[in-house]
Amino acid sequence: MCGVVVCNIAIMKRFLPLLILPLLIWVACEDAENEADSQLCTSEVEAMNAASEALENAEGVAEIAAAILTACESIDETIQCMSESSLFTQEDVDEMQASYDEICGG
């Protein structure tokens, strides 16, 4: 009927969609996961929490000043992310802005 190579290629072509489909699903899920993290502002909130902890543990004027600067930058980035995300209300953003104004002198 057909040579071994030709038959194997024909059989492989039939199963190719079955090999590609899981890869496409995996890539799509990875993108959705990254999108969810960006909508939740996960990295910004983690940075803000780390800056807050550093501020609590700071000792000495220079260290406290540096920690306040870092905290203000991370709060500002969080506010920007929250403003762009559809998951946060304007009230959430305003509350974070009030914290920024109190800590950083708005």
Same domain, 63 and 25: no
Q: What are phi and psi of 103, to 5 degrees?
A: -80, -40
Reported confidence tier of residue 13, pLDDT bands at 50, 70, 90:
low
Angle between helices 61-84 and 42-57 (to 10 degrees): 160
Same domain, 50 and 82: yes
Same domain, 67 and 27: no
State pLDDT tens for residues 43-102: 888 888 888 888 888 898 999 899 889 989 998 999 999 898 888 889 989 998 998 898
Same domain, 22 and 35: yes
Domain count, the chain: 2
Same domain, 32 and 57: no
Same domain, 34 and 48: no
Same domain, 81 and 70: yes
Q: Whole-prediction pTM value?
A: 0.61
Same domain, 69 and 32: no
Same domain, 48 and 35: no
Q: List the Cα angle 78/83/88 in 5-degree steps.
A: 90
Domain of 30 in residue numbering reads as 1-39
Closest CA to 103 of 60, 56, 62: 56
Same domain, 35 and 14: yes
Report residue 41 as tokens: 């502002």
